[in-house]
Amino acid sequence: MANAPRILAVLALGLALLCAAGPAAAQNCGCQPDYCCSKFGYCGTTDDYCGDGCQSGPCRSGGGSPGGSSSGGGNVANVVTDAFFNGIKNQAGNGCEGKNFYTRSAFLSAADSYKGFGGGSVEGKREIAAFFAHVTHETGHFCYISEINKNNAYCDSSNRQWPCVAGQKYYGRGPLQISWNYNYGPAGRDIGFNGLGDPNRVAQDAVIAFKTALWFWTNNVHRVMSQGFGATIRAINGALECNGNNPAQMNARVGYYKQYCQQLGVDPGPNLTC
């Protein structure tokens, strides 16, 4: 028994070394490639990190293996039914350009490339409701493919990494109205089209249009879902709508989100405004 303190000390040291060698990292994440940032802010590759509440990386919203029935595409298709999707689109007028452009099949095809998006869990359904709330607001219930004012080139000439191409304009296009050269460039690179040289492709191919929206969502919005819907407004249009800058627009987004949460049978959660 006299050696008990020494044994405990050795065990404690061994446990500390084991933890240090594991996948967990600092609580603010900053994970290496192919690691998930968990809802608690740690890095790893198991369901504890990549499952419900995962903030970034190869998340699997419903848990389970990547591409399996409990992640991404399959559950998204079960949640975003024809009735849900067309219930949004049917509110657009018959003269709307997006009426025959945006389709559920195009959305599901795009979503299949983003396995960490949505799912059948509460968090997954909230994310789907949030995504479509913003899409509804940005496109007027799938009425618009491109923004009405096409005069602004949305070219940040100081951005040397993604230089504007002469004659091209980077105004809003697609379900989330992606804009600016510094978004079109990397979106095109990651999705597989010439975003800088042919930005209008987003307004011509519905699958690419949805992919740009999900690309933007994955890179800018997905990680803040755990903070509430208000954080997603701030991530998309915060400077224009949050902090009392345009409460009517903000409340319109919140209204859609609450409506879609009700349709999907989930509570909208806290922190709805920004």
**Per-residue b/e over 209-240, b at no fewer than 16 CB within 10 Å?**
bbbbbbbbbbeebbbbbbbbbbbbbbbbbbee
CB 116 within 8 A of CB 75: no
**Cα–chain-centroid distance for residue 153?**
25
Closest CA to 216 of 182, 178, 189: 178
CA distance 226 to 179: 26
CA distance 174 to 274: 24
Give me the catalytic one of 97, 123, 127, 138: 138
147 is catalytic: no
Active site residues: 138
